[in-house]
Amino acid sequence: MEQKNDYKIRIDNLNLHFTANHVLRGINLNIRKNLITALIGPSGCGKSTLLKCLNRMNDILPGVRIEGQVLLGDQDIYADTVDVARLRKRVGMVFQRPVAFPISIYENVASPPRVHGVSHRGTLDSIVKSSLVRVGLWDEVADKLHKSALSLSLGQQQQLCIARVIASEPEVILLDEPCSALDPMSTMKIEELMRQLAKHYTVVIVTHSMQQAARASDYTVFMLSGEIIESGPTGEIFTSPRDSRTENYITGRFR
Amino acid sequence: MTDRRVTLLFASITGLTVIILVVIIGYVMVNGLPGLTLPFLLESPREMGRTGGVFPAIVGTVLLTGIALIIAAPVGILTAVYLTEYTRDTWLPKIVRFGTESLAGIPSIIFGLFGFLFFVIYLDLGWSVLSGALTLSAMILPTIVRTSEEAIRAVPDAYREVSLALGSTRWQTVTSVVLPSAKPGIMTGVMLAIGRAIGETAAVIFTAGSSLRLPRTLLDSTRTLPVHFYILAREGISLENAYSTAAVLILLILAINIAAYTIMDRLAKKES
């Protein structure tokens, strides 16, 4: 049934050492195209580290050693010939706390395309508009595009951050606990938004919240101590986990 | 002590500071403003400055400070970028920081002496606008490096991380995120440097000389406003004109500050 083409990202025997710690152990995982994959597990299980392996954000830390293969489409993203900046354009990332730059709303969204060489004003205008429309923020900010992005609420800032990622036309969007700093209403908005995003992009989310993983993802990956314990369709993982450790975690018996 | 007493104490100390400032500036203004006429601003000095105006000295001051800034600001800011963004956890910034801190504390007359020996004599630039500006740029460079470094360091690491994650290179991160965020702090440092350079006497009198003529090239000698009123007062040429010159200098500094902050405000408003 399943085709190789269904997978956007294929991770093959990935190991990550940080100084003396073996943080990720023999990770094998295929991430499906245009679906939402949730990485869950207790704090320190390596889920954020795994996420950051997908856009090579671990590279900027000194003392990190990575072995194994990560294929994005057919390209090994750890090959020597890979342009890391280009890779990160293809694999966008949204962080735990919304980080809006202290410049205007417009400039925030326009900055990635600018960096990637778009300078034509009309083109930028349309990228900014379509990105903001796609995250559902356009109606709220259309008349104050040139106001500081810091004047927005936290939830709006996180939407803005997602719009900014979209503006660089990525193929994959990584979300690292994107709702942990947000109130329930904003969280709901972001979850609805993820659903919309999955129509166009492959989405990978790290989350602390079982409910969020259960509500908002198609596939769930459960990690413990740097290993993948179990992965599968979200419905199966949450209703009939095969491993007792998964069951213990999702029923809240340990965190 | 009760809160009220502490408040009173702090209020009086602050009051004292304000009074000292007002008295000094007020004294100069009261003595200087009567002689500060349009001809005084626009004419050349006659009889060594006993009569006539201070126009060449205004030009000399602006030229020296401006050129010093054109040299020192880019060098200082780029040095700060290199130290904070490219060599952060190495020994280099520590050594350079120690150096800049020491340099910032050195009396300006030492820079004057150095400028005299190196630029005026050794490089044979003579007493000139160029010698003076080069000396001033060396003198304000540590201030600019130091304050820019502080301002850049204060930019949250999250900004850098996000910018890299958006596919920017390191240099693009510096230009599109780090420097714009650090801009107000860097501007404050540059303003401090201007203040130091514009009021400088010792470093300038040795290197730019004290010619009263309007400089025509960068290799002409010139006299700055502080040097002018130093000479007027010291040689007993004209105390009235010395006060008026001082008033011009204070107003010039005020004008530069107002202009700089208005521009910054405009920029900030455009963005907020």
ipTM surpasses 0.90: no
A144 in reach of chain B (CB within 8 A)? no
Query: Model confidence over A139-171: pLDDT tens digits?
Result: 999 899 999 899 999 889 999 999 999 998 899
Q: Tell me, what's the pLDDT at B270?
A: 59
Whether B10 maps to a domain, the answer reads no
Q: Tell me, what's the pLDDT at A1?
A: 45
Say if CB A128 and CB A141 are below 8 A apart: no
In chain B, the number of structural domains is 1
A88 contacts B164? CB cut-off 8 A = yes
Chain B from 79 to 98: CB within 8 A of any A CB: 89
B157 in reach of chain A (CB within 8 A)? no
Of the candidates B89, B162, B168, the beta carbon closest to that of A85 is on B168
CATH number at residue B107: 1.10.3720.10
A187 in reach of chain B (CB within 8 A)? no
Q: Tell me, what's the pLDDT at A165?
A: 93
State yes or no: pLDDT of A252 exceeds 80.
Answer: no
Query: Model confidence over A85-138: pLDDT tens digits?
Result: 889 999 999 998 899 988 889 999 998 998 888 888 999 999 999 999 988 889
DSSP per residue, A81-118: T--HHHHHHHEEEE-SS----SSBHHHHHHHHHHHTT-
State yes or no: pLDDT of B144 exceeds 90.
Answer: yes
Of the candidates A103, A107, A115, the beta carbon closest to that of B172 is on A115
Q: Which residues of B touch A111 (CB under 8 A)?
A: 163, 166, 176-177
User: Poorest-confidence range of A97-101, B6-10, B259-263?
Assistant: B259-263
Q: Tell me, what's the pLDDT at B269?
A: 66
Q: Tell me, what's the pLDDT at B12?
A: 94
Burial of A9 (0-12, 13-18, 19+ CB in 10 A): buried
- Can you give the pTM of this predicted structure? 0.81
Q: Kind of pairing, strands A91-94 and A172-176?
A: parallel
Q: Tell me, what's the pLDDT at A186?
A: 86
Separation in Å, CA of B194 to nearest CA in chain A: 27
A165 in reach of chain B (CB within 8 A)? yes
Q: Tell me, what's the pLDDT at A229?
A: 92
Please, which pLDDT band fits residue A74 given cuts at 50, 70 and 90? confident
Q: Tell me, what's the pLDDT at A61?
A: 80
Q: Which residues of B touch A107 (CB under 8 A)?
A: 271
Q: Which domain holds residue B139?
A: 56-224
Query: Model confidence over B82-108: pLDDT tens digits?
Result: 999 888 778 888 888 888 888 888 899
Query: Which residue reads 């030492």 in tokens?
Result: B110
Residue B271: how many CB atoms within 10 A of its CB? Answer: 18
Q: Where are the domains of chain A?
A: 34-51+81-250
State yes or no: pLDDT of B194 exceeds 70.
Answer: yes
Q: Tell me, what's the pLDDT at A4?
A: 55
Determine whether domain A34-51+81-250 maps to CATH 3.30.470.20.
no
